[in-house]
Amino acid sequence: MFWTRLGSGIVLLIAMISCILLNGWVLALALCIISCIGFMELCKACKVHGEGQKINAPEVLLLFAILAFYIAIYMNTTMTSAIPVIMLAFIALMFLYVLGYPKYHAMQIMPAFFAFIYAPVMFSFIYLTRNLQHGQYLVWMIVISAWGCDTFAYCVGMLIGKHKMAPKLSPKKSVEGAIGGVAGAALLGALYGVFLTERMDMDRNLVWTLALIAAVGAVIAMVGDLAASAIKRNFEIKDYGKLIPGHGGIMDRFDSILFTAPMTYLLTVAMFYL
């Protein structure tokens, strides 16, 4: 299991780095595909379609909406251009709900739209961050915040973790681990700031700025991780999927990145470009 998990993790990391470096339609397409997979994983977990079904009309409608959403993001590289797609998707979903009543229940429609926002919209901030000025450098703060926090939290928790952070939700996570995760992510952000100082011509102390972005991102990453765990516990499932050997599904592997991506984008815009 360890070698399977390690191997698939390395392949996943290489694929992600390649797509981010290439940017453009390659990154947009990759994010669109994993967004669709993450959306379907959430729909399955939340029982949007009934037993024995693989997909239903609300899910098909929102899959087309995901495609339209990423086309809008790719064409204009701003969230403003995609907001009409989100609103039209919601209205179309309500049309389907009303005209087909009582075929679909509110407890199918609401989780379907929730899944649309949770995976596709949140993932899109990776693309938006990559296409900012200096985005080729700043986009890596998403990974540093999420996976840096996860790594340091695990190590510190294993070494000195004693006080449970969320015993009913995630018994293995400790307060000490959480503090170590935030501090570790901040340290990585600071070191990355040292690396970027000679590469980004900006009137700002990159070391402290990126340390702060990483620390805040780390806190949000833990919320994302726990939120994904809470959903799984509510619906009594172990993993969202089996796509990534040793890791589970897209939502299992990217649960923290889904939260750090929009937070990194917002903090970067606020601290560098406003």
pLDDT at 56: 92
171-185 b/e (C-beta count within 10 Å ≥ 16 → b): eebbebbbbbbbbbb
Provide the whole-model pTM: 0.94
> How far apart are the C-alpha atoms of 76 and 99, rounded to whole Å?
34
Which regions of the chain are under pLDDT 70?
1-3, 5-6, 203
> What does each C-alpha distance from 137 to 160, 164, 170, 202, 258 come to in angstroms?
34, 36, 33, 13, 19
pLDDT at 201: 75
End-to-end CA distance of the chain: 47
pLDDT per residue as tens digits for the range 113-140: 999 999 999 999 999 999 998 999 999 9
Give the three-class secondary structure for 174: strand
Query: Tokens 């070698």, residue?
Result: 3
In 3D, which of 113, 109, 130, 119 has the Cα closest to residue 49?
109
Token representation of residue 135: 């985005």
Give the three-class secondary structure for 102: coil
